[in-house]
């Protein structure tokens, strides 16, 4: 199939302005291959015996990783996969998934990691939108592939990692082991333009079918040379670990990009449990922990964790993807002695562009300042810069930027005068620290006030009866919107009018009067996106609650 049609990318005048203020970002050669830079270079420069991947009891060196990449890449090329062909990846975080990622990029093709939780409809949508020619899938995730097979019209080859070889071949699929056995030990990299499409990451689909975001070859160097170096201070001695899947920008950057730029190691965890994350830190001697705030909260609930697990290897803890909250920050610091450096990024921007890690100074409740290489503004609806502390819309620009795949209308909405709309309602203080208020879509407008739901949710969740909650604005003829809280009670407790009033009064001690929830509705669960602990453990989906009111 080969080349990407020009119409699949937005017109250049709709692209955000890319700025290269760090010397490293401006110095890349015009043609490069990120696998050569992230894997092969270490072997060529005598670091082949360094650990590249830690997985369960396995230790994989850079030399071994490079050899596997060459075999898989040459075998994929022998199947007829060409430069710019798209290859889907459906797998948890396991070594063959990383090998496949590097192999696809090394032969000049485009890797498309997809969520292991995508349904057959979502998988078929992504395959059709990308016109993928091949799909690499882990055997435990094969069921939805089988169900969608007739809709995967452009997919010529399905390669299965693990599973029963005879069963796989009977379906007309290719066992991964056989693919590796066919491969050659040497494979020259296909060097492409630094702005050539290399990776397509898809949004989670929380506002409809997943949308493709374009990432170019140079971004695999930009992210580590910017945030990896200036934020985490990564060196070859680091071990970076977290449970985010490769299909998310956070997982892709922390597992397939940042460690390998520095000759460090990636610690892979296919499935998060609080105990499992603690054990992984201890076993693999993780130095940089990158997990969701939800994961930190679950780990804080493990009885006797401080006495049971050895976290002495950890030098930095980071979080993002949702609001951390001052309470979680303080509890973690008190229990384990580590700061949590919060960050904010988007799938579209590839990774974090705001983080307190760059200053090593936490203001509890704030995210942080701009990562070196990025510029931030907070603007009003009219595009006028807001004063310090004044709420507004966050826009950003830097060496990465929002580019949508085959969606010109979405592109027009996402870029304003060369700046990327982050989609967040925030304020910025005199020190340049960003304070998150709400996603723009989640903002509640009541009696002229603009209210972010996160602060209310955090207050409610401090009540001993509350297990989880979500807050939205509901129509009101007088105020415009009322603040309604959907509350999940802890096991064994029953809803009542008295408890509803108690929850509202409980919030009065920490929230301004206009922010208090005016309505409380008790529910068995609140809608959440898939997260590291499985379905329904990720970001709150307030949109689902709003949609039910229409």
Long-range contacts of 231-234 (CB under 8 A, 24+ apart): 231/318, 231/341, 231/343, 231/352, 231/355, 231/357, 231/358, 231/371, 232/258, 232/288, 232/316, 232/318, 232/357, 233/316, 234/258, 234/259, 234/261, 234/262, 234/264, 234/288
Half-sphere exposure of 537 (CA within 13 A, CB side): 20
Q: What is the DSSP letter of 405?
A: S
CA dist 463 and 382 (Å) reads: 39
CA dist 349 and 400 (Å) reads: 6
- Calculate mean pLDDT across residues 527-536: 65
Instruction: Say if 271-440 and 443-548 have the same CATH topology.
Output: no
200 bridge partner residues: 214
Amino acid 541: pLDDT = 87
Q: What is the DSSP letter of 397?
A: E
pLDDT for residue 192 is more than 90: yes
Amino acid 18: pLDDT = 97
Amino acid 80: pLDDT = 97
Residues 6+ apart with CB under 8 A from 447: 479, 480, 514
Half-sphere exposure of 408 (CA within 13 A, CB side): 9
Least confident span in 169-173, 213-217, 308-312, 379-383: 379-383
Exposure string of 184-211, with b = 16+ CB inside 10 Å and e = fewer, is eeebebbebebebbbbbbbbbbbeeebb
- Calculate mean pLDDT across residues 23-42: 97
pLDDT for residue 476 is more than 90: no
Half-sphere exposure of 111 (CA within 13 A, CB side): 29
Is 508 within 8 Å of 500 (Cβ atoms)?
no
* Confidence tier at 437 by pLDDT (50, 70, 90): confident
Amino acid 537: pLDDT = 58
Q: Given CA atoms 299, 234, 334, 489 in this order, what sign does their dihedral have? A: negative
CA dist 73 and 107 (Å) reads: 6
Amino acid 546: pLDDT = 87
For the chain, the structural domain boundaries read 62-192, 271-440, 443-548
CA dist 318 and 434 (Å) reads: 16
Structure confidence by residue, pLDDT tens digits, 517-526: 999 999 999 9
Output 437 or 390, whichever has higher pLDDT: 390
Could you write out the three-class secondary structure of 90-108?
A: ECCCCHHHHHHHHHHHHCC
CA dist 492 and 191 (Å) reads: 61
Structure confidence by residue, pLDDT tens digits, 256-266: 999 999 999 99
H/E stretch holding 203: none
Q: What pTM does this model have?
A: 0.87
Mean pLDDT over the full length of the chain:
93
CA dist 282 and 313 (Å) reads: 8
- Calculate mean pLDDT across residues 432-448: 83
The third-level CATH classification (topology) of the domain covering 62-192 is Rossmann fold (3.40.50)
pLDDT for residue 531 is more than 70: no
Pick the CATH number of 271-440 from 3.40.50.12780, 3.30.465.10, 3.30.990.10, 3.50.50.60: 3.40.50.12780
Pick the CATH number of 443-548 from 3.20.20.70, 3.40.640.10, 3.30.429.10, 3.30.300.30: 3.30.300.30
């Amino acid at each position: 199939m080969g080349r990407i049609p020009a119409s699949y990318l937005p017109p250049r005048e709709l692209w955000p302005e890319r700025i290269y203020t760090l010397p490293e970002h401006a110095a890349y050669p015009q043609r490069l291959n990120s696998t050569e830079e992230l894997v092969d270079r270490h072997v060529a420069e005598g670091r082949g015996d360094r650990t590249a991947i830690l997985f369960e009891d396995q230790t994989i060196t850079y030399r071994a990783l490079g050899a596997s990449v060459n075999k898989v890449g040459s075998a994929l090329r022998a199947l007829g996969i060409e430069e710019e062909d798209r290859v889907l990846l459906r797998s948890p975080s396991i070594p063959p998934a990383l090998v496949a990622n590097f192999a696809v990029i090394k032969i000049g093709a485009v890797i498309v990691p997809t969520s292991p939780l995508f349904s057959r409809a979502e998988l078929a949508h992504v395959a059709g939108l990308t016109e993928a020619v091949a799909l690499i899938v882990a055997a435990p995730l094969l069921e939805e592939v089988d169900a969608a097979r007739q809709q995967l019209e452009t997919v010529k080859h399905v390669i299965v990692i693990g599973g029963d070889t005879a069963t796989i071949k009977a379906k007309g699929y290719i066992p991964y082991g056989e693919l590796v056995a066919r491969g050659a030990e040497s494979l020259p990299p296909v060097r492409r333009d630094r702005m050539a499409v290399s990776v397509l990451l898809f949004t989670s689909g929380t506002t409809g079918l997943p949308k493709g975001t374009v990432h170019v070859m140079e971004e695999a160097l930009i992210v580590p040379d910017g945030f990896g170096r200036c934020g985490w201070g990564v060196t070859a001695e680091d071990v970076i670990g977290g449970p985010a899947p490769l299909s998310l920008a956070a997982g892709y950057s922390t597992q397939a990009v940042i460690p390998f730029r520095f000759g460090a190691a990636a610690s892979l965890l296919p499935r998060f449990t609080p105990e499992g994350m603690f054990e992984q830190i201890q076993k693999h001697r993780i130095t940089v922990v990158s997990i969701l705030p939800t994961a930190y909260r679950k780990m804080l609930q493990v009885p006797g964790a401080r006495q049971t697990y050895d976290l002495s290897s950890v030098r930095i803890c980071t979080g993002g993807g949702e609001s951390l909250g001052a309470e979680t920050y303080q509890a973690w610091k008190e229990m384990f002695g580590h700061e949590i450096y919060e960050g904010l990024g988007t799938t579209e921007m590839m990774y974090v562009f705001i983080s307190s890690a760059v200053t090593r100074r936490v203001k509890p409740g704030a995210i942080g300042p701009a990562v070196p290489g990025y510029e931030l503004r907070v603007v009003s609806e009219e595009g006028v810069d807001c004063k310090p502390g004044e709420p507004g819309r966050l826009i950003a620009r830097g060496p990465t930027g929002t580019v949508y795949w085959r969606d010109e209308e979405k592109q027009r909405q996402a870029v304003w005068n060369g700046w990327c709309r982050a989609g967040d309602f925030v304020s910025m203080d005199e020190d340049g620290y960003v304070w998150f208020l709400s996603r723009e879509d989640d903002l509640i407008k009541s009696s002229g006030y603009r209210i972010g739901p996160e602060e209310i949710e955090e207050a409610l969740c401090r009540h001993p009866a509350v297990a989880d909650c979500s807050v939205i604005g509901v129509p009101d003829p007088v105020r415009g919107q009322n603040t309604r809280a959907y509350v999940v009670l802890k096991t064994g407790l029953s809803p009542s009018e008295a408890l509803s009033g108690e929850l509202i009064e409980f919030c009065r001690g920490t929230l301004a009067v206009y922010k208090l929830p005016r309505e409380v509705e008790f529910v068995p669960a609140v809608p959440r996106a898939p997260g590291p602990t499985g379905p329904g453990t990720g970001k709150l989906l307030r949109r689902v609650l709003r949609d039910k009111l229409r």
